Each structure stands twice: as C-alpha cells, then as structure tokens.
Amino acid sequence: MKKVHRLLLQRHSGKADQRRHDGRVAVDTRNTRWCSDGFEIGCHGGEKAQVAFFLECCDRGAMGFAATTAESPRLA
C-alpha cells in the first residue's frame, strides 16, 4: 500500500551523500521550526514505556509530550 502511494523511503545505496549540510537547526524567531522524536524503554517486568515529544527550535523548549505503557499506544 505504501509503495502504491509513494510513501516508501529511497533505499540507501551505501555511498556517501554528496550534499553538505550547511544549514542551522536553531532559528532566531519563535514558531518557525519544530522537531520531534520518540523513544521506548524496556522495563524489568517486560512492559514497555513509550514517550514522544516535540521541541520548538528557537529556545529548544518542550512544546508537548505524551507517554504511555499501553500495548497499542496512540501518541499522536
């Protein structure tokens, strides 16, 4: 289904990318750029804790987060 809708990532060829990253992640004004990430932590009892968060890139403040231990999390 993803292939039909062109949602797959391009396969890595093993060659280094020729483009050089000269840009900045930080910005001078608020509400112009954000970033997000998530991670999962395995607990001793076999449970998994999942966390997702997003940051504002001007002051790198956390704009929001979600955490769960549910089997089928809905972090979005």
Sign of the Cα pseudo-torsion (17, 21, 25, 31, in order)? negative
For the stretch 7-52, pLDDT in tens is 777 777 777 767 676 766 667 777 777 888 899 999 888 888 999 9
| 73 pLDDT higher than 60 | no
Contacts of 42 (CB under 8 A, 6+ apart): 48
Residue 16 tokens read as 């280094």
Whole-number pLDDT of residue 28 = 78
Whole-number pLDDT of residue 24 = 66
Whole-number pLDDT of residue 26 = 67
CB 69 within 8 A of CB 49: yes
Residue 11 DSSP label: P
